[in-house]
């Protein structure tokens, strides 16, 4: 995967790489993992909403079928 960074972000990344001694890809991977971990609750909630929506659609279809 290729990622295009803004000039300012690219400079910050290079600076962090120099200071920390990590290559830039490792910093990006760690940042993404940190971010995904931080939003895990949001992801779980979204999945739960999708499941409830699917169950609701199924319940409505079953109810309508029972009326006929």
Q: Tell me the CA distances in angstroms from 12 to 22, 23, 44, 56, one per residue in order.
A: 13, 13, 32, 47
Domain assignment of residue 1, yes or no: no
Domain assignment of residue 2, yes or no: no
The domain tally of the chain equals 1
Question: For residues 42 and 40, what is the distance between their CA atoms, to the nearest angstrom?
Answer: 5
Q: Which two tokens stand for residue 10?
A: 């690219």
The answer to whether residue 68 scores a pLDDT higher than 80 is: no
* 21 occurs within a structural domain: yes
Q: What range defines the domain where residue 29 resides? A: 7-67
Angle (CA) 31 23 5, round 5°: 55
- 7-59 pLDDT tens trace: 999 999 999 999 999 999 999 999 999 999 999 999 999 999 999 998 888 88
The pair of three-digit structure tokens given for residue 30, joined into one six-digit string: 């760690």
| 40, part of any domain | yes
**Predicted TM-score (pTM) of this structure:** 0.62
Q: How many CB atoms lie within 10 A of CB 5?
A: 13
């Amino acid at each position: 995967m290729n990622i295009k960074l803004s000039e300012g972000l690219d400079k910050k990344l290079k600076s962090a790489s120099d200071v920390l001694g990590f290559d830039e890809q490792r910093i990006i991977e760690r940042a993404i993992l940190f971010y995904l971990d931080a939003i895990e609750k949001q992801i779980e909630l979204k999945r739960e909403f999708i499941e409830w929506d699917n169950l609701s659609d199924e319940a409505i279809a079953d109810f309508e079928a029972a009326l006929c």
